[in-house]
């Protein structure tokens, strides 16, 4: 029996693996608990006082040395952070240079009294420990500090187990960036931690900052990056989802539409955990994402992380990590190979450069639409010429249809013969549009997520990243909403004019006649709740297309007129030549 027990006993590696799996399950279970409607109790309230059972469930980590709530405020030119000793970390992030839709400063978290960052691990006596439930002691009890540009400040909290064993957490704040370095010192408590792994995670949900909650939550999510691939969770319906990944991950994050928090480890990691919970609807919509990264305790016992809490500005986020901007939606997944380079190396630099030269982003959008139209001119010219040529052939095509209405095969042969004779490609109007479609789709997706347009006003639109209502309706229309946007209305009207000018609604082409009304209405319905900057872009693009089509139509009419003149000259010359031959023949007969 002793030999059999020794043979079947798990190895140390298997024990650590089982401990990690148990820690993961406990973490997911803790994260998945529904948030209570009542405010989180403070340490000095009776509800927070640890019961004997809670102390026993934490083992040696259940000995809380201090029960007073101690808050500390640190302000830099970019943000204001409130630190708490409950968990020893930040409980509020306020971005000074960014405003919410109501005019107040963007506060990414402010509804918790615990640290936003939680350190989770399994103790040697098999207790699941979460540090944001424990009370730390600050080394410096100053209530507030200011960090000027070029300066740094260190904020340190200690979890005192006994005189010799202390778990220390240090935050190094820089006055020039949104980045914060976090150092965790396990060296004196290493013998109290089971295995070699721990998790650092962001616990609270990011607050809503935009007026349209549905649009913002649609672009929120949890992300993890490893070896060139980005994993993510984005919920579109009510429910809960969690994913646990293994491997060495470079960063994890949660984001709202325009802001994000990112955790980037300096040392080797063992996996990542992402969770999402979707509850409620409309004004009561609540989406809560969390992200955690599982790290390996270093030989020195000190693990370091780089933390980012701020806007999803391309250059700022890229400096933090080159791949972090991949969280921003620039297009459909199958088009990311095209849309990402276009946005990163063309669109963003263009808006960044001309945004500093022109009075506001509205003029930058107009200039950008002109540049895109200029770049795509060869493709659109081919398309417009083909549509104009097809319009000129409509009478002859109608005659063929009447002539061979009972013989479809003969009708098709005669039509193809007509196309060949006129040197017209019936697909010439479609293929160029398909080639430029990736550009238009990329811009359609990106303009709804561009922080460069956020709270930028133009004409009647107060925020180019949000809709621009000019008519408020006394009722709500599904998909459309309870208002009508100004730029989207003008965009739809410009599309009707464009289709009339291009001849798609001509009497000679009745099968497409409905498009000049149905398609603009469909786009109006879907675009009404999109960013007004997007509608402004398409309005300008359509206006330029109308001008281009009118110019091409005029050129084709001129060519047609010249061909008509040439035919008259040819007939006159033939007539004169024939009369000259008759006269010559008559004179020869006389001779």
Q: What is the pLDDT along the chain (591 residues), one digit of tens a residue?
A: 667 666 666 666 666 655 555 555 555 555 444 334 334 444 444 444 444 444 445 555 655 544 556 788 999 999 999 999 899 999 999 999 998 888 889 999 877 788 999 999 988 888 888 998 888 988 887 888 999 998 999 999 999 888 888 999 999 999 999 999 999 999 988 888 888 889 999 999 888 888 878 778 888 999 999 988 888 998 888 888 989 998 899 999 999 989 999 999 998 898 999 999 988 776 677 889 999 999 999 999 999 999 999 999 999 999 999 999 988 888 777 788 888 888 889 889 999 899 888 888 899 999 998 888 888 777 666 666 666 666 666 777 777 777 777 777 777 777 777 777 666 666 555 555 666 678 778 888 888 888 888 888 888 888 888 888 888 888 888 877 788 888 889 988 888 887 777 665 544 445 556 656 777 888 888 888 888 888 898 899 888 888 877 777 776 654 454 444 445 555 565 566 667 767 777 777 777
| Domain 18-328 class, CATH top level | mainly beta
CA distance 342 to 344: 6
Position 101 scores a pLDDT of 82
pTM for this model (two decimals): 0.74
**Spacing of C-alpha 177 from chain mean position:** 22
Q: Where are the alpha helices (DSSP H) in 197-281?
A: 213-218
Burial status of residue 266 (CB atoms within 10 A of its CB: 0-12, 13-18, 19 or more) = middle
Instruction: Sort residue 351 into left (φ over 0), alpha (ψ -120 to 50) or beta.
Output: alpha
Q: Where are the domains of the chain?
A: 18-328, 346-552
Quickly count: other Cβ atoms within 10 Å of residue 126's Cβ.
Answer: 11
CA–CA gap between residue 399 and residue 182 (Å, rounded): 79
What residues are paired with 498 via a beta bridge? none
Query: Which candidate, 552, 553, 546, places its Cα nearest to that of 490?
Result: 546
Burial 365-375 (b: 16+ CB within 10 A, else e): bbbbbeebbee
- Burial-class residue 570 by CB neighbours within 10 Å (0-12, 13-18, 19+): exposed
CA nearest neighbour of 488 among 463, 525, 459: 525
DSSP 505: T
Q: Is residue 450 exposed (0-12), middle (13-18) or buried (19+ Cβ within 10 Å)? A: buried
Separation CA 546–CA 559 (nearest Å): 20
What is the distance between the alpha carbons of residues 249 and 229, in angstroms, rounded to a whole number? Answer: 10
Give the pLDDT confidence score for residue 387 in this predicted structure: 65
Residue 317 parent element (H or E): helix 314-320
């Amino acid at each position: 029996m002793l030999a059999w027990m020794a043979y079947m006993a798990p190895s140390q590696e298997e024990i650590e693996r089982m401990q990690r799996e148990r820690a993961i399950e406990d973490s997911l279970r803790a994260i998945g608990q529904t948030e209570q409607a009542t405010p989180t109790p403070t340490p000095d309230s009776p509800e927070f006082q640890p019961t004997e059972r809670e102390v026993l469930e934490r083992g040696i980590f259940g000995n809380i040395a201090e029960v007073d709530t101690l808050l500390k405020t640190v302000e830099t030119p970019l943000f204001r952070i409130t630190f708490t000793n409950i968990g020893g970390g930040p409980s509020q992030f306020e971005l000074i240079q960014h405003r919410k839709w109501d005019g107040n400063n963007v506060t990414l978290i402010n509804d918790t009294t615990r640290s936003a960052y939680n350190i989770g691990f399994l103790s040697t006596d098999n207790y699941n420990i979460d540090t944001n439930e424990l009370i730390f002691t600050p080394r410096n009890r100053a209530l507030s500090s200011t960090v000027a540009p070029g300066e740094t400040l260190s904020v340190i909290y200690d979890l005192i187990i006994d005189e010799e064993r202390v778990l220390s957490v240090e935050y190094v704040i820089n006055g020039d960036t949104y980045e914060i370095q976090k150092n965790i010192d396990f060296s004196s408590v290493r013998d109290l931690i089971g295995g070699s792994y721990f998790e650092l995670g962001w616990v609270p949900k990011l607050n809503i900052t935009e007026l349209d909650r549905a649009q913002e939550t649609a672009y929120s999510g949890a992300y993890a990056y490893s070896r060139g691939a980005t994993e993510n969770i984005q919920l579109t319906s009510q429910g809960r989802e969690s994913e646990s990944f293994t491997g060495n991950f470079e960063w994890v994050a949660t984001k709202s539409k325009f802001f994000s928090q990112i955790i980037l480890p300096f040392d080797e990691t063992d996996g990542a955990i992402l969770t999402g919970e979707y509850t409620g609807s409309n004004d009561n919509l609540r989406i809560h994402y969390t992200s955690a990264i599982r790290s390996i305790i270093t030989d020195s016992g000190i693990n370091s992380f780089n933390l980012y809490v701020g806007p999803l500005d391309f250059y700022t986020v890229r400096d933090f990590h080159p791949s972090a901007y991949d969280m921003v939606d620039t297009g459909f997944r199958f088009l990311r190979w095209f849309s990402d380079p276009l946005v990163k190396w063309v669109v963003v630099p263009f808006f960044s450069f001309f945004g500093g030269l022109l009075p506001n982003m509205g003029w930058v959008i107009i200039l950008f639409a002109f540049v895109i139209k200029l770049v795509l001119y060869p493709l659109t010219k081919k398309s417009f010429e083909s549509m104009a040529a097809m319009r000129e052939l409509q009478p002859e095509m109608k005659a063929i249809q009447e002539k061979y209405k009972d013989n479809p095969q003969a009708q098709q042969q005669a039509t193809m013969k007509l196309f060949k004779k006129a040197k017209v490609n019936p697909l010439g109007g479609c293929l160029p549009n398909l080639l430029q479609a990736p550009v238009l789709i990329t811009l359609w997706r990106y303009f709804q997520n561009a922080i460069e347009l956020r709270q930028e006003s133009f004409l009647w639109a107060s925020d180019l990243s949000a809709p621009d209502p000019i008519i408020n309706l006394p009722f709500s229309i599904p998909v459309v909403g309870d208002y009508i946007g100004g730029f989207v209305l003008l965009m739809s009207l410009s599309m009707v004019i464009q289709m009339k000018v291009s001849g798609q609604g001509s009497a000679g082409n009745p099968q497409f006649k409905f498009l000049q009304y149905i398609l603009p209405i469909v786009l109006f319905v879907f675009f009404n709740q999109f960013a007004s900057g997007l509608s402004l872009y398409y309005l300008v693009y359509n206006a330029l297309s109308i001008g281009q089509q009118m110019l091409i139509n005029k050129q084709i009419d001129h060519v047609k007129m010249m061909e008509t003149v040439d035919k008259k000259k040819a007939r006159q010359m033939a007539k004169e030549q024939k009369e000259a031959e008759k006269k010559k023949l008559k004179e020869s007969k006389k001779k």
